[in-house]
């Protein structure tokens, strides 16, 4: 019998992928505003300006930032072009503010759900523009059915634009082999545990085994002197990496999602490690919010409180 927490997590991951529920919420005058309030726990807002404002505050506090215009699975070419243009606008604005930080994106947001060629062309354009301003572009990793395509597009692009990096999911068994190859490309590698529900024969569940695999991947990158982003909120895993002296390596940063474990990141920053906050904005916050709840169902309590009490704590002040 599956434990109730795993059942809730799996149900939430399925809800996240359900287009009927998503459009019902988007069209509901009652539910939509309530959920937007809840989403603000993890998302800076619905527009670019809100993302930039939060980024400025965090940079003032000596954090690095990564900013994403949220969206994925855009299946219409015209929409992909508009979303790619939004990334270009974001980069222009960051450039004009001398914010030479990081922009993150999902390839299925800018073309992969149409075809690989569209994603590659759009990625190259965004990467070249980012390069002009010293901005790093990090590609997120999506469902395992897309892994090969995402890695191929990354490899082609980073050869021309070394400011492009890639995310690797430790929970996928294949990642241990992928990383051996990726180490020969210049881009930064962000190591995450993995957020997508996949079949048990290709991924490890959250476990000691997964944490050991995570350590193994990071170790390979450190030994190769490769730029790495340690993207986890797992305190025991972070403590182990601190103990192994991984965190004070100059090519290493610790990256956490906005609104999650801010106290832990602030404590790491006080020890002068490179700490980065991953910020998101955009109207497609629904899937992002579902992922954050699915990863940690206890978040539901906080979200319900946020819906009832409009005076949400300013997330920034927690960093």
- Residue 88 tokens, joined: 């270009």
Give the integer Cα–Cα distance in Å for 111 and 87: 13
**DSSP H helix total and E strand total for the chain:** 13, 8
Nearer to ligand FDA, 163 or 229 (CB): 229
Answer for which of 73, 206, 242, 251 binds ligand FDA (CB under 6 A) is 206
Answer for which of 95, 242, 296, 312 binds ligand FDA (CB under 6 A) is 296
Answer for which of 127, 192, 275, 289 binds ligand FDA (CB under 6 A) is 192
Answer for which of 113, 158, 169, 220 binds ligand FDA (CB under 6 A) is 169
Considering only residues 253-272, where is the footprint of ligand FDA by CB under 6 A? 255-257, 260-261
CB 98 within 8 Å of CB 82: no
Answer for which of 167, 175, 274, 280 binds ligand FDA (CB under 6 A) is 167
Q: Closest approach of Cβ 29 to ligand FDA, in Å? A: 28
Give the integer Cα–Cα distance in Å for 92 and 308: 38
Angle at 310 between CA 308 and CA 313, to 5 degrees: 110
* Stretch of residues binding ligand FDA (CB under 6 A), selected from 11-19, 120-128, 176-184, 250-258: 250-258
- Residue 272 tokens, joined: 């002068």
47-67 per-residue burial string, b: 16 or more CB within 10 A, e: under 16: ebebbbebbebbeeeebbbbb
Nearer to ligand FDA, 29 or 254 (CB): 254
Nearer to ligand FDA, 92 or 179 (CB): 179
Name the helix (H) or strand (E) containing 254.
strand 252-257
Q: Closest approach of Cβ 230 to ligand FDA, in Å? A: 9
Site string for ligand FDA, 96-135 (x = CB under 6 A): ----------------------------------------
Q: Closest approach of Cβ 140 to ligand FDA, in Å? A: 3
Angle at 222 between CA 62 and CA 206, to 5 degrees: 85
Give the integer Cα–Cα distance in Å for 134 and 130: 6
Chain residues that interact with ligand FDA, rule: CB under 6 A: 140-141, 167, 169, 192-196, 206, 231-234, 255-257, 260-261, 278, 292, 295-296, 299
């Amino acid at each position: 019998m599956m434990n109730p927490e795993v059942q809730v997590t799996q149900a939430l991951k399925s809800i996240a992928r359900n287009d009927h529920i998503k459009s019902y919420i988007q069209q509901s005058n009652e539910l939509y505003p309530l959920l937007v309030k809840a989403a603000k726990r993890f998302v800076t807002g619905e527009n670019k300006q809100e993302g930039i404002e939060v980024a400025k505050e965090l940079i003032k506090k000596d954090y690095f930032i990564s900013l994403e215009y949220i969206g994925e699975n855009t299946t219409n070419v015209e929409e992909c072009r508009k979303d790619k243009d939004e990334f270009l606008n974001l980069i222009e604005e960051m450039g004009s503010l001398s914010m030479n930080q990081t922009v993150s994106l999902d390839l299925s947001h800018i073309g992969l759900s149409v075809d690989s060629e569209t994603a590659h062309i759009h990625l190259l354009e965004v990467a070249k523009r980012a390069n002009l301003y010293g901005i790093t572009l990090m590609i997120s990793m999506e469902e395992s059915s897309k892994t090969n395509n995402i890695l191929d597009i990354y490899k082609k692009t980073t050869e021309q634009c070394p400011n492009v990096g890639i995310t690797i999911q430790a929970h996928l068994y294949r990642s241990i082999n992928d990383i051996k190859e990726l180490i020969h490309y210049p881009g930064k590698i962000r190591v995450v545990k993995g957020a997508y529900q996949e079949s048990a024969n290709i991924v490890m569940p959250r476990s000691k085994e997964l944490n050991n695999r995570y350590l193994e991947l990071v170790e390979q990158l450190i030994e190769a002197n490769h730029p790495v982003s340690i993207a986890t909120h797992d305190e025991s895993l972070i403590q182990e990496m601190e103990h192994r002296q991984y965190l004070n390596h100059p090519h290493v940063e610790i990256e956490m999602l906005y609104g999650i474990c801010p106290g832990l990141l602030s404590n790491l920053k006080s020890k002068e490690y490179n700490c980065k906050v991953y910020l998101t904005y955009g109207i497609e916050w629904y899937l992002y919010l579902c992922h954050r709840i699915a990863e940690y169902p206890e978040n539901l309590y906080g979200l319900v409180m946020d819906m009832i009490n409009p005076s949400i704590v300013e997330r920034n002040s927690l960093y």
